[in-house]
Structure 1
Amino acid sequence: MAFSLGARDRVTTLPKVNRRALRKYGEFWRALQLVGDALTEAEKLTAKARDAERRGERKSAKGVSAKAGATARHAWSRATGEEMSAAAKKAHRSLQVMSASAKRWEAELVSREWRK
């Protein structure tokens, strides 16, 4: 997902508004790349969580209250490895749709001034 601004001399001849729009689009594209990198890391962590579950290392999610001597149990739980994997895949698909849409509308986004 690399975005090339092209030759620098071409950028300097553009009107100020187009340079700003081009810069904003570049920032937007870079943000999409950073989200993609974060999702890749999340998928790696979900693989580790699934492996830990398979080995039986998952501890019970229920615990005792923070008060000393309390007998109440919490209803806290964490997502399973499969749930985390499904969420990461869903987010990755959404990012692909957004990237494809951004690429399709690139000319429109670059030609117009971005609103603040």
Structure 2
Amino acid sequence: MVQVKPINRRALRRYGEFWRALQMVGNALAEAERVAAKATDNQPIRGQTAHWAAATLDEMKSATKKAKNSLHIMSAAAKKWEAELVSREWRR
């Protein structure tokens, strides 16, 4: 009979926290996409001088797309290594 190693509760909890953090980042990126979709004008308000530059619409879309791709890669790796991550102790 094959014995299954007991799941390390601490490692399982930490993996759950990690997975929730990935979901929160995904939600923030979705919100950033919504904001970028609504953005149409990067000009300063009349009468005000801009002392800083805001990202252009294309820059916001590009940054969001890159971040989403990175998040997708990280999420896929987390799922691939889930069994390993929950069975081992996480180091700080």
1:37 aligns with 2:27: yes
The number of residue pairs the alignment matches comes to 85
2:49 pairs, out of 42, 49, 63, with 63
Q: Which structure's relative contact order is higher, taking Cα pairs within 8 Å and 6+ residues apart?
A: 2
Structure 2 spans left out of the alignment, 5+ residues: 1-5
Report the AA paired with residue 45 of structure 1: V
Rg larger for: 1
Structure 1 spans left out of the alignment, 5+ residues: 1-13, 65-73
1:88 aligns with 2:64: yes
RMSD (CA atoms):
1.9
Distance 1:86 1:97 in 2: 17
Identity %: 62
Per the alignment, residue 109 of structure 1 pairs with 85
Report the AA paired with residue 102 of structure 1: A
Per the alignment, residue 73 of structure 2 pairs with 97
Residue 87 (structure 1) shift: 0.3
Distance 1:80 1:39 in 2: 17
Per the alignment, residue 10 of structure 2 pairs with 20
Per the alignment, residue 46 of structure 1 pairs with 36
- Provide TM-score, normalisation by structure 2: 0.83
Distance 1:104 1:87 in 2: 26
